[in-house]
Structure 1
Amino acid sequence: MRRAYTMLGLGTAVFFTAASLTLLPNGTQASSSQATFMVPAADGYGVAECLISSHACGQVVANTWCEAQGYVKAVSFRQIEADEVTGSIQKASMTTGEHRPVSITCSN
């Protein structure tokens, strides 16, 4: 008898879990329509090299970054000015243009 109640309880839990996952919205999409990310220039992947130069790879890299974050495409990307960042970024790294972070705005 105890086994029957245990199986009934387990079956009910599995049912409600499956039903809640089916009824919830897609969790891979971002909740807002736009988001802006700051990417360090010295991230080790060379992202900033394409984004701050006039190379054609800039839009492709920005779109790929947004897709990796759960968005559809990049709306804009640019190098951030030194006065736009908080004190959490070292001032010494903000003196040269090549070390400033890059801003990527993504959209659904």
Structure 2
Amino acid sequence: MRRAYAMLGLGAVVLVAAGSLTLMPEGGKASATEATFLVPAADGYGVAECLVSGHTCGKAVADTWCEAQGYSRAVSFRQADPEDVTGSVEVQKVATAPAPRPVAITCSN
């Protein structure tokens, strides 16, 4: 009789655990519905090149970048303004050409 109650209790625990997993949000999606990311211009995705040259590839590349971050699509993308960057890292003055501005990509679920 004890075994029957133990098996019934174990079955109930497994059932509750399985049910709670189905109610959890997807792990691959970000919790926020919209977020803006600052992506370096030389990130390898090619968003900056598409923006500067004016090609239509910018939307497709931005969408792919957002999907890689767990979002479904890119709402907007543009070259970031200097005010968008916090400047928390000290800038080293070097006699080279200025670095291109980063790209701001706003992603949404």
CA deviation after TM superposition for structure 1 residue 47, in Å:
3.3
8 A Cα contact 1:39 1:101, kept in partner: yes
Contact 1:39–1:103, Cα closer than 8 Å, also in 2? yes
Unpaired segments of 5 or more residues in structure 1? none
CA RMSD of aligned residues (A): 3.0
Is residue 2:76 matched to residue 1:76? yes
Question: Higher Cα Rg: structure 1 or 2?
Answer: 2
Please name the residue that 1:29 is paired with.
29
Normalising by structure 2, what TM-score? 0.69
Q: As a proportion of its length, which structure holds more helix?
A: 1
Instruction: Name the TM-score, length of structure 1 as normaliser.
Output: 0.70
Q: Which amino acid aligns with 2:102?
A: P
What is the aligned-residue identity percentage? 63
The verdict on how the C-alpha distance between 1:32 and 1:101 changes in structure 2, with shifts beyond 3 A counting, is same
Q: Separation in 2 of the partners of 1:51 and 1:9?
A: 60
Question: What is the SS of the residue equivalent to 1:103?
Answer: strand
Q: Does 1:96 align with 2:98?
A: yes
Q: Secondary structure at the match of 2:49?
A: helix
| Inter-CA distance 10–48: structure 2 relative to 1 (3 Å threshold) | farther
